[in-house]
Amino acid sequence: MSMSISKRLTGIAWASLLTVVAVSAAAVVWRSLVVPALVVDTIASALTLALTTGRLKALREQAFVHEHESLHDPVTELPNRTLFHQQACQALSAARRREATCAVMLLDLDRFKEINDTLGHHEGDLLLHQVAARLRGALRAGDLCARLGGDEFAVLAVDVDSEEDAFLLAQRLRRELARSIDLAGISLETEASIGLSLSPEQGTDVEQLLRQADVAMYGAKRQHLGVDLYSEAADEGARARLELLSQLRAAIAEGQLVVHYQPKVAAQSGLVRGFEALVRWEHPTRGLLYPDQFVGLAENTGLMRLLTSHVLDLALRQCRAWRDAGHGSLTVAVNISTRNLLDGALPGEVARRLEAHSLPASALELEITETTLMVDPIRAKAVLSELAQLGVGIAIDDFGTGYTSLSWLCELPVTTLKIDKSFVMRMTDRSEDAAIVRSSVQLAGNLGLSVVAEGVEDSDAWHGLAELGCDYLQGYYFSRPQPAAAIETWLAQQRERDPELGPIARAAA
Ligand SMILES: [Mg+2]
């Protein structure tokens, strides 16, 4: 019994000893595993924290860059429209509390597209950058300046004393820009048109003030004023122009656009040789509208192609009708705009329309002004060359009023010079104008071009121009531009006269 008790006690002792050993071993293992794990964990936490902090910092920096980029123009580093709106709202409400006047200005560079197209976008961007720097330099502390897009900049001038003060500041900005800027080795003088709108007199809402300044800027540009202040009358004019533009597409589709024709006569005989097609809009409520009232509006839209196609079609159809009626090989001249001239599809369209009306290319002359040519001379030359290859005549319209270099003129496939009517009309009174007409006729002769004088209003001018060697004449003395039906009557009268009897008598009546 005692033996068995003693064995049991020994067993317990061994079990206890083993338990202690096991627990101690477990503690050692625990210590060897858990303690380093804690250390690793702490290090990991510290690392994670460091990484997270770095990441957050990078994210914060990224967000800042994104925000900056979303609120600034990348070319000039100026605020963009969104930021200008925010800053101007704050500045205007602060000014209202001070009862101060502010001026919102909208500034648009004249001829920027020309510079961009001629020198390239890189140079265009450099110019914008320099313009921005000059604007910033000319503004006062507290004034805001932003680039709204393209060549359009906005300025908010705070605390202007008066309307006159705002004008003076705008003039200063224009003068700053007018100082020549060196670009690709070319010295450029940048002209700008500025529209002004005053707050609170003319409004307190930024977008409204900007819109008003835009209306004023458009007026300044159109009338070559440099700077103009918004007025309700100008706004009505702008509204009316926009309304016209919105009606133009339907007007073309509905046949409200018609063509009037002005005869072009041979200078020696006075016999009609062709007509210039001049577009008119028979507006249902405004009466007869002339090209200067709507063509300019279409020029900056896709409507220009539609408008020219329409006129081209009507003119060629009429030319076909004259030829079918036995009026000989009368020609027709159609005026084309800058947009048309830069349209690579124009030669193809001209060819198709000539074919559709069974007319030879020699029946058509296209009239282009010098200004039109100079917008993108390289592209213009390519399109003109294609047209000339068809056999279409190319006339330089309003010759003498633009800046075409003579060497450039020689490189173009031009067939005719049309001397601007302003010189012709003044040539009997002013020797300078007579000299311009005489030189133009000589130049045309030396270059092998035919020459048309426009604006012939009396028989003295006719005979003078015939003596100088002009080939063709156009003007009220022979006939005003008239609708096709009236031209039919005019042509019938012409046919009654015997060409053998010499120059026709006055036909304007
Ligand atoms: Mg013309």
pLDDT in tens, 131-160: 999 999 999 889 999 999 889 999 999 999
* Per-position DSSP letters for 6-73, written without gaps between them: HHHHHHHHHHHHHHHHHHHHHHHHHHHHHHHHHHHHHHHHHHHHHHHHHHHHHHHHHHHHHHHHHHB-
Distance 396 CA to ligand 1 centre (A): 9
Q: Is 263 in the same domain as 388?
A: yes
Residue 70 lies in a domain: no
Q: Is 376 in the same domain as 251?
A: yes
Distance 350 CA to ligand 1 centre (A): 18
Interaxial angle between packed helices 121-138 and 163-178, expressed in degrees from 0 to 180 and rounded to the nearest 10: 140
Q: What phi and psi values does residue 301 have, to the nearest 5 degrees?
A: -125, 170
Residue 190 to residue 173: CA distance in whole angstroms: 11
Between 498 and 130, name the one with better pLDDT: 130
Residue 226 to residue 315: CA distance in whole angstroms: 39
Q: Quick check: 494 pLDDT over 90?
A: no
Q: Quick check: 350 pLDDT over 80?
A: yes
**Ranges 233-242, 259-268, 300-309: which has the least confidence:** 233-242
Q: Is 426 in the same domain as 470?
A: yes
Q: Is 203 in the same domain as 283?
A: no
**pLDDT band at residue 503, thresholds of 50, 70 and 90?**
very low
Q: DSSP label at 251? A: H
**pLDDT band at residue 3, thresholds of 50, 70 and 90?**
very low
301-331 b/e with 16+ CB inside 10 Å = b?
Answer: eebbbbbbbbbbbbbbbbbbebbeeebeebb
CA nearest neighbour of 274 among 184, 334, 192, 214: 334
Q: Is 223 in the same domain as 363?
A: no
Stretch 95-111: mean pLDDT, rounded?
92
Residue 25 lies in a domain: no
Q: Per mean pLDDT, which of 37-41, 55-59, 314-318 is the most reliable?
A: 314-318
Give percent of the chain with pLDDT exceeding 90. Answer: 52
Q: Do 419 and 429 form a contact (C-beta atoms < 8 A)? A: no
Residue 8 to residue 421: CA distance in whole angstroms: 138
Round the average pLDDT of the chain to a whole number and report it: 86
Q: What is the pLDDT of residue 347?
A: 96
**Ranges 131-135, 176-180, 229-233, 298-302: which has the least confidence:** 298-302
Residue 102 to residue 200: CA distance in whole angstroms: 7
Q: Quick check: 47 pLDDT over 70?
A: no
Range of the domain at 481: 246-501
Q: Which amino acid is at 242?
A: L
Q: What is the pLDDT of residue 475?
A: 94
Distance 397 CA to ligand 1 centre (A): 5
CA 144 to chain CA centroid, nearest Å: 25
First CA to last CA distance, the chain = 159
Q: How many distinct structural domains can be found in the chain?
A: 2
Residue 307 lies in a domain: yes
Residue 275 to residue 218: CA distance in whole angstroms: 34
Residue 359 lies in a domain: yes
CA nearest neighbour of 376 among 384, 366, 364: 384
359 membership: H or E segment, kind and range: none
Look-up: residue for tokens 């559709």?
356
Pick the last residue of a domain from 171, 196, 230: 230
Q: What phi and psi values does residue 399 have, to the nearest 5 degrees?
A: -60, 135
Interaxial angle between packed helices 232-253 and 291-299, expressed in degrees from 0 to 180 and rounded to the nearest 10: 80
Return the CATH number at 431. Answer: 3.20.20.450
Q: Is 256 in the same domain as 349?
A: yes
Pick the last residue of a domain from 230, 265, 285: 230
Q: Is 341 in the same domain as 199?
A: no
Q: What is the pLDDT of residue 16?
A: 58
Encode pLDDT of 447-492 as tens digits.
899 999 999 998 889 998 999 999 999 999 999 999 999 999 998 8
Distance 454 CA to ligand 1 centre (A): 9
Distance 442 CA to ligand 1 centre (A): 21
Q: Is 258 in the same domain as 185?
A: no
Q: Which residues surround ligand 1, an ion (CB under 5 A)?
A: 335, 367, 397
Return the CATH number at 143. Answer: 3.30.70.270
Task: Reduce the DSSP state of residue 418 to 3 states and report it.
Answer: strand
Residue 61 lies in a domain: no
Residue 465 to residue 418: CA distance in whole angstroms: 13
Distance 137 CA to ligand 1 centre (A): 45
Q: Is 175 in the same domain as 212?
A: yes
Residue 496 lies in a domain: yes
Pick the last residue of a domain from 182, 202, 230: 230
Q: Do 119 and 128 form a contact (C-beta atoms < 8 A)? A: no
Residue 447 lies in a domain: yes
Q: Quick check: 296 pLDDT over 80?
A: yes
Q: Is 133 in the same domain as 254?
A: no
Give percent of the chain with pLDDT exceeding 70. Answer: 88
Distance 349 CA to ligand 1 centre (A): 20
* Residue 400 CB contacts under 8 Å (≥ 6 apart), including other chains: 419, 420, 422, 423, 436, 440
Q: What is the pLDDT of residue 330?
A: 93
Q: Is 157 in the same domain as 259?
A: no
Residue 495 lies in a domain: yes
**pLDDT band at residue 34, thresholds of 50, 70 and 90?**
low
Q: Quick check: 12 pLDDT over 90?
A: no
Distance 367 CA to ligand 1 centre (A): 6
Q: What is the pLDDT of residue 123?
A: 87
Helix-then-strand count for the chain, H and E = 18, 17
Task: Reduce the DSSP state of residue 302 to 3 states and report it.
Answer: coil
CA 32 to chain CA centroid, nearest Å: 79
Provide the 10 A C-beta neighbour count for residue 401. Answer: 15
Q: Quick check: 13 pLDDT over 60?
A: no
Distance 398 CA to ligand 1 centre (A): 7
**Ranges 48-57, 146-155, 422-431, 453-462: which has the least confidence:** 48-57
Q: Is 301 in the same domain as 401?
A: yes
Distance 86 CA to ligand 1 centre (A): 48
